[in-house]
């Protein structure tokens, strides 16, 4: 399995074995595997006759839909380079990306065609028109897929840690990521599973959700556009579609916890057998609340870790779901993982020093480069003991059993008087100052003052006493760890992927210090 041909070939094999099995579902719509193959071939036919050749960049600018699945598979099939673009990108940002990419083709549907600057490409393919009409198409099975080192897809980082970067993955890294996940947990996706497709098309995870489900003959269940943030609809989908497998992050966990507690819905996870948790680090109090809700269900929980540049590379099963410290796990098959400290020294898994280091990942799942940016690409790769690794920008530490625990991003490191702070300790202390009333907290450093900490406190309570929080912190933290300013919010700002958007945190009023 060295190219994306594996994904397409597996899809055809499943269609032959189970032609009437449901492949994809969105609310009341469904396609069987035979219908999915037919629709994919229609798109391939159109791309072929427009002159698409292997290695050409093809944008996809669609909302979550059957067309999204069709377009992705068709681009893989014809050997193009899949480049998904979010339909909610600001026009200025979209134009910058298009100028950088210089692609000639775009797949859209009726809902998004008027949002795309058509002058930026030579060919606009409206998927609705292709999939609705009856076409006599020739056999496309003789098309070959690019070699293993050819580009398979380009994904843009979310921009939460700086400007978006165009991450190029090859067919080799794509298929290696799929193989690593399947090899790590053979029963993670099966032909009997109903898998909820959650990730937006701008997030690399949507590629694994689609591919891993369809190569084993499972059923992929889509949410309607905007459904991710409609927790009542999300919960109904879990129940009505009898979802068995899903990957969620902290933002969804928080929303589900609040919804279940307020609505007293007790059957939401009745059919779920495999729940994967990924994304940002989870606050202990939030996880405890969620774990208590899950304790009555027969759900296997896995923690997963990955980046846009590496794919999913670490994982572990959580045997004790009420443990508030959630690990990010062990390396998947074929993946190498090292922790390296600030001095370039490799931290040993057995020394039990709890020393913090940056996660370095090696192996065949690594991305090829950042498009048109050799300097940035070179800065991300490093050689250790004659092995190529990427620096992830994530800090972690080992526990006594050799499991990795996420600490924070290097970008968000906070040092006060030259000493590194772990903001999670401060955030947990603040949360515990008002048990049950503070749902989240983020501590940052104010740019205008090197030694000034700001705490953003999330609570629906109308009145929280700043002095009570400060006094609680003074009792449990060193003085230099106590925030100088507390900002109260109803919720934290999130980006389209449901992650904290630090750039949108409000500027605190520093006049309170005078």
User: Is 473 among the domain residues?
Assistant: yes
User: Is 58 among the domain residues?
Assistant: yes
What is the torsion angle, in degrees rounded to the nearest 10, for the CA atoms of residue 212, residue 308, residue 175 and residue 206?
Answer: 30
Q: Is 251 helix (H, G, I), strand (E, B) or coil?
A: helix
- Per residue of the chain (514 residues), what is the pLDDT tens digit? 445 667 888 888 999 999 999 999 999 999 999 999 999 999 999 999 999 999 999 999 999 999 999 999 999 999 999 999 999 888 888 988 999 899 999 999 999 999 999 999 999 999 998 886 655 555 555 555 555 668 999 999 855 445 678 999 999 999 999 989 988 886 788 999 999 999 988 889 999 999 999 999 999 999 998 898 899 999 999 999 999 999 998 888 988 998 998 888 888 999 999 999 987 677 777 888 888 888 878 899 999 999 999 999 999 888 777 777 788 889 999 999 999 998 899 998 876 667 899 999 999 999 999 999 999 999 999 999 999 999 999 999 998 878 888 888 887 777 776 666 778 889 989 999 998 899 889 999 876 556 789 999 999 887 889 999 999 999 988 788 899 999 999 999 887 667 788 888 998 888 777 6
Q: Is 359 helix (H, G, I), strand (E, B) or coil?
A: strand
- Mutual angle of helices 66-78 and 5-17, in 10-degree steps: 120
The CATH number of whichever domain residue 492 belongs to comes to 3.30.300.30
pTM summary value:
0.85
Domain boundary among 121, 136, 169: 169
Domain boundary among 114, 139, 169: 169
Closest C-alpha among 16, 25, 123, 35 to residue 80 = 123
In degrees, rounded to 5, the angle at the alpha carbon of residue 134 between the alpha carbons of residues 131 and 140 is 75
User: Is 233 among the domain residues?
Assistant: no
Domain boundary among 169, 189, 220: 169
User: Is 364 among the domain residues?
Assistant: no
DSSP letter string, 439-508 = -EEEEEE-TT-TT-EEEEEE---S---HHHHHHHHHHHS-GGGS-SEEEEESS--B-TTS-B-GGGSPPP
In degrees, rounded to 5, the angle at the alpha carbon of residue 267 between the alpha carbons of residues 264 and 273 is 135
Instruction: Look up residue 346 and give its DSSP letter.
Output: B
User: Is 250 among the domain residues?
Assistant: no
**Overall number of domains in the chain:** 2
CB 306 within 8 A of CB 276: no
Closest C-alpha among 156, 161, 315, 158 to residue 247 = 315
Its domain, for residue 65, covers 1-169
User: Is 179 among the domain residues?
Assistant: no
Residues paired with residue 92 on neighbouring β-strands, in sequence order: none
Give the HSE-up count for residue 41: Cα atoms under 13 Å, Cβ half-sphere: 20
DSSP letter string, 61-96 = E--SSHHHHHHHHHHHHHT-EEEE--TTS-HHHHHH
User: Is 98 among the domain residues?
Assistant: yes
Lookup: tokens for 475: 């009792």
The CATH number of whichever domain residue 95 belongs to comes to 3.40.50.980
Instruction: Look up residue 367 and give its DSSP letter.
Output: -
User: Is 160 among the domain residues?
Assistant: yes
Location of structure tokens 């996870």: 269
Lookup: tokens for 142: 């003789």
State the pLDDT at residue 183: 85
């Amino acid at each position: 399995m060295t190219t994306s041909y594996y994904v397409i070939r597996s899809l055809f094999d499943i269609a032959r074995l189970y032609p009437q099995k449901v492949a994809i579902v969105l609310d009341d719509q469904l396609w069987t595997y035979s219908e999915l193959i037919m629709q994919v071939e229609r798109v391939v036919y159109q791309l072929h006759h427009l002159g698409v050749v292997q290695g050409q960049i093809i944008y996809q600018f669609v909302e979550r839909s059957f067309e999204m699945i069709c377009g992705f598979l068709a681009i893989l099939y014809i050997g193009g380079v899949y480049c998904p673009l979010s339909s909610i990108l600001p026009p200025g940002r979209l134009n910058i990306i298009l100028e950088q990419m210089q692609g000639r083709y775009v797949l859209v549907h009726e809902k998004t065609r008027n949002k795309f600057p058509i002058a930026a490409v030579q060919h606009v393919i409206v998927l609705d028109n292709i999939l609705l009409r009856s076409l006599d198409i020739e056999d496309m099975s003789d098309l070959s897929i690019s070699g293993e080192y050819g580009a398979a897809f380009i994904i843009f980082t979310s921009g939460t840690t700086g400007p978006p970067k165009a991450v190029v993955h090859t067919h080799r890294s794509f298929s290696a990521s799929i193989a690593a996940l399947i090899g790590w947990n053979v029963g993670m996706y099966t032909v009997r599973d109903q898998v909820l497709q959650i990730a937006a098309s701008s997030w690399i995870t949507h590629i694994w959700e689609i591919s891993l489900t369809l190569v084993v003959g499972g059923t992929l269940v889509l949410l309607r556009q905007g459904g991710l943030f409609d927790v009542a609809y999300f919960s109904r989908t879990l129940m009505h579609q009898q979802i068995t497998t899903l990957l969620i992050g902290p933002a969804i966990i928080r929303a589900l916890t609040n919804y279940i507690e307020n609505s007293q819905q007790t059957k939401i996870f009745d059919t779920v057998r495999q729940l994967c948790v990924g994304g940002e680090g989870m606050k202990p109090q939030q996880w405890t609340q969620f774990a208590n809700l899950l304790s009555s269900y027969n759900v296997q929980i896995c923690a997963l870790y990955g980046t846009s540049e590496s794919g999913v590379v670490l994982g572990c099963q959580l045997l004790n779901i009420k443990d508030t410290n959630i690990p990010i796990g062990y390396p998947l098959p074929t993946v190498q993982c090292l922790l390296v400290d600030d001095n370039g020294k490799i931290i040993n898994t057995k020394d039990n020093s709890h020393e913090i280091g940056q996660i370095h990942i090696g192996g065949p799942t690594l991305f090829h480069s950042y498009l048109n940016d050799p300097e940035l690409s070179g800065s991300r790769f490093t050689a250790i003991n004659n092995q190529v690794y990427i620096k992830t920008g994530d800090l972690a530490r080992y526990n006594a059993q050799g499991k990795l625990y996420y600490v924070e991003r290097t970008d968000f490191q906070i040092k006060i008087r030259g000493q590194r702070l772990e903001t999670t300790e401060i955030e947990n202390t603040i949360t515990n100052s008002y048990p049950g009333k503070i749902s989240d907290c983020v501590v940052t450093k104010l740019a205008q003052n090197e030694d000034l900490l700001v705490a953003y406190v999330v609570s629906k309570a109308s009145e929280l006493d700043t002095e009570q929080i400060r006094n609680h912190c003074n009792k449990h933290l060193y003085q230099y760890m106590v925030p100088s300013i507390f900002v109260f919010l109803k919720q934290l700002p999130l980006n389209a992927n449901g992650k904290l958007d630090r750039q949108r945190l409000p500027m605190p009023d520093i006049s309170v210090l005078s």
